[in-house]
Every structure is written in structure tokens, then in C-alpha cells.
Amino acid sequence: MLPSETAAQHKMQLREKPTVHVDGFLYSDEQVDSLCEEGAMSRNYCLSCGSFKTAPLDFISHSFSVSELQFLFQNVLPDLSGRTVVDVGSRLGAVLYGGYVYSSASRLIGLELSEDFVRLQNDILHKYRLADRIQVFHANVCTQQVLLQDTDVLIMNNVFEYFIEPSEQIGAWKFIMQTFRKRGSLLVTVPSLQESLDALQVPLPPGWVEELSVDYNVYLGRDTDPEYLRQIHLYRVF
Ligand SMILES: C[S@@+](CC[C@H](N)C(=O)[O-])C[C@H]1O[C@@H](n2cnc3c(N)ncnc32)[C@H](O)[C@@H]1O
């Protein structure tokens, strides 16, 4: 996380159990295990200092891991040839790089509020020559009406909860529900739409989207936690 992400750091401190952020795109579970074995980090926290009374820490990632990206593009979404994918809140760019490698999408567009993360993503696009299919914009999704009206696949991985205030979250969801309306286009959310909207007491507009079934019983190696995959939901715009 960036030092400038004070609101998100604060939100994490408000969680019920002590929580650490380990970015799932940058560190696999195996790497975290090695760091724990070396003593560089811990999966537990002390309940009563100096004793053996410890409890597991909660871990949170603000990015999809590589195996989640592989699952998303190879098992959840259809062939994306000729399609435009938009990742709302593209952060490190994980979804964009995953889409570049694991799909045939023609355009992969990232929208990101943080200027520092936009700079980082543009450095990566330049360094690894990915700019032929990927573009990143420093923009609030709520300013992107024209783009959203023409988007085929919209990806929203827990975009708002830690990063903007509830009143702004409500405004952003309403904007998306009014704007992302192209018939047959796909929406991927983590967690489910129901869970995100219920928390904000925003009703899901009837007739906007239908949920499509996803086969979660795919083996992607022992590093993949099926519980994380089950958080990925797919919808189609009516
Ligand atoms: C959980 S991260 C998503 C990371 C990435 N999409 C992935 O799956 O790996 C959420 C990101 O959304 C950004 N964000 C939050 N609200 C936004 C908004 N209204 N418009 C654009 N970006 C936003 C935050 O700055 C943060 O970097």
C-alpha cells in the first residue's frame, strides 16, 4: 500500500480482528509461508504479550492473485476477442496484465483514482511493451460515462469499500447502474452485488442484470484457495 492511502489504512484498523495487508498479486501463499519461516512476518498476533497465547491474523489483499486472474479469464469469462474490458480501480494493474496474458481482449482499460498507481502502471506498460492493448486513465469511474456505455466487460474487485466514503460509494454504484447498460455486456464483482449493495442499503434495480453460474470446481494448483474463487460473481446486463 502507498503511504498516501491513509483512509484505506484507517479502515483496515477498524476491522474486528487485527488485519495485515499482503498484496495477493505480488506475494503468493508460498512466498508468505517462506517469509513466516524466516521470521520476517507472522500469521499470528499475541493475545497476551510474552505468552504462547496467540491467534491468527486476518489477511487482506487489495489485488487479485495470479491464480484468481487465471481463473477469471480462463474459466469465468468467455472468449474476449474484439471486446473491451474495463477494470474499475486498476491499482497495480493486475487485472490488465492478467487480461493481456490470459485473454484475447482487444482493449484492456484501467481507471484509477490514485495518481501514483497510474504512474506505476504506465511504467510497467512501457517497460514490458503492453501498451498495444492496455491503457490506464487517472480518473474517477463516475466521470467515464461514454466509456462505460461502450464497455463489454466491467470488472469490480472490491473497489470502493476501503477507498471511498459510503456516501461516495452509493453515488458511484448508482452511476454504474445507470450507465453500464449495453445489452449482453458482462459484470464481474467481488463480493456479490447483493453483498456490496445491501451494506449500503442501495436496492438492485430490477431488470438490470442477471447472475450467471460459474463453475468453481477447477483445480489451479495447491496455492489457490477455493474460498477466494467463490467470491467472484458474474452478471449479464439484460
Ligand atoms: C481493491 S483495489 C482493486 C485492484 C484491482 N482492480 C485488482 O483486482 O487487482 C481498488 C482500487 O480502486 C481505486 N478506486 C476506488 N474508488 C475509485 C473510483 N471511484 N474510481 C476509480 N478508482 C477507484 C482505489 O484507489 C484502489 O486502488
In the chain, the domains with their CATH numbers are 6-60 (no CATH), 66-237 (3.40.50.150)
Q: What pLDDT is stored for residue 168 in this prediction?
A: 97
Q: What pLDDT is stored for residue 47 in this prediction?
A: 81
For ligand 1, atom 9, which residue shows the shortest CA distance? 63
Between 225 and 161, the higher pLDDT residue: 161
Q: What is the CA(211)–ligand 1 centre distance, in A?
A: 23
Q: Is 141 helix (H, G, I), strand (E, B) or coil?
A: helix
Q: Atom of ligand 1 at shortest distance to CA of 114?
A: 25
Q: What pLDDT is stored for residue 203 in this prediction?
A: 96
User: Which of 62, 143, 156, 158 to probe ligand 1 with, by most ligand atoms within 8 A of CB?
Assistant: 62
Q: Atom of ligand 1 at shortest distance to CA of 24?
A: 9
User: Which of 112, 147, 158, 190 to probe ligand 1 with, by most ligand atoms within 8 A of CB?
Assistant: 112
pLDDT digits (tens, 9 = 90+) for 178-190: 999 999 999 999 9
Of the ranges 20-34, 44-58, 172-186, the best mean pLDDT one: 172-186
Q: What is the CA(158)–ligand 1 centre distance, in A?
A: 8
Q: What pLDDT is stored for residue 27 in this prediction?
A: 94
- Nearest one of 121, 123, 111 to 156, comparing CA atoms: 111
Mean pLDDT of the region 116-140: 98
C-alpha to C-alpha distance for 88 and 96, rounded to whole angstroms: 11
Q: Atom of ligand 1 at shortest distance to CA of 64?
A: 9
Mean pLDDT of the region 204-211: 96
Q: What is the CA(38)–ligand 1 centre distance, in A?
A: 32
Q: What is the CA(5)–ligand 1 centre distance, in A?
A: 12
Q: What pLDDT is stored for residue 223 in this prediction?
A: 66
Mean pLDDT of the region 102-128: 98
* Residue 65 near residue 85, CB atoms below 8 Å: no
Q: Which residues contact 211 (CB under 8 A, 6 or more apart)?
A: 192, 193, 233, 234, 235
C-alpha to C-alpha distance for 95 and 89, rounded to whole angstroms: 10
Q: Which residues contact 220 (CB under 8 A, 6 or more apart)?
A: 67, 70, 71
Output the ligand 1 site: residues, CB below 6 A.
25, 62-64, 87-91, 94-95, 111-114, 117, 140-141, 157-160, 163-164, 172
* Residue 154 near residue 148, CB atoms below 8 Å: yes
Q: What is the rounded average pLDDT for all residues in the chain?
A: 94
Mean pLDDT of the region 84-105: 98
* Residue 109 near residue 137, CB atoms below 8 Å: yes
Q: What is the CA(32)–ligand 1 centre distance, in A?
A: 24
pLDDT digits (tens, 9 = 90+) for 3-21: 889 999 899 889 888 888 9
Mean pLDDT of the region 188-194: 97
Beta strands in 22-106 (DSSP E): 44-46, 54-56, 58-60, 84-88
Q: Which residues contact 57 (CB under 8 A, 6 or more apart)?
A: 17, 18, 19, 20, 42, 43, 44, 45
